[in-house]
Amino acid sequence: MIEMRRVYFATGNPHKIEEAKLILRNYNVELAHLNIQRIEIQSPDLVDIATYSLNQIVKEFKQPVFVEDTGLFIDSLNGFPGPFSSYVFKTLGNKGIIRLLRGENNRRAVFKTVIAFKESDKTPIKIFIGETSGVIAEDIRGEGWGYDPVFIPLEGDGRTYAEMSLEEKNKLSHRFKALKLLGEFLRKV
């Protein structure tokens, strides 16, 4: 029997924990939640944000741990909200994003996740990136968190993430792609 490996996910978002547990168990990873306060810098680069956050955490926490930062990059808005997606969601929400795109024909967008992982305070940071291309729906569809009710992945069947089951979403999502890369890495070390 293959032994489960414990890795900590530093996030305050319980939805992300639920998604990550389902994905990483396929790689014999037991995911533990690390709810720790950290400063999130403002940067146009998700890698910089995730790396900075992880470096803060590993100063105090010496176990295998990762952080994740995600952005929704909308073509016609020049990549906005991008790395500011969380703040924009809290202030404008999905209704605000739909209003910004009213009358816009180009609704293409990319959801991007960056995972920064560190085995211990003595090892280098490893970066894993997942991206999913899609379009922004013209209205809110389905029950879900974050931008899931307005993001339609191109690889899918025309439904938003929020209209899919978690298992269906986890086969297509940006987070799945990044977590899969992390899982494959952890399986080898």
Burial 34-68 (b: 16+ CB within 10 A, else e): bebebeeeebeebebbbbbbbebbbeebeebbbbb
Q: Would you state the structure tokens that stand for residue 86, as one six-digit string?
A: 């969380």
- Indicate which residue of 48, 69, 121, 148 is catalytic: 69
Q: Is 69 an annotated catalytic residue?
A: yes
Q: How far is CA 19 from CA 153, 169, 170, 174, in A?
A: 17, 9, 7, 11
What's 109-134 look like in SS3?
EEEEEEEEEECCCCCCCEEEEEEEEE
Catalytic residues: 69
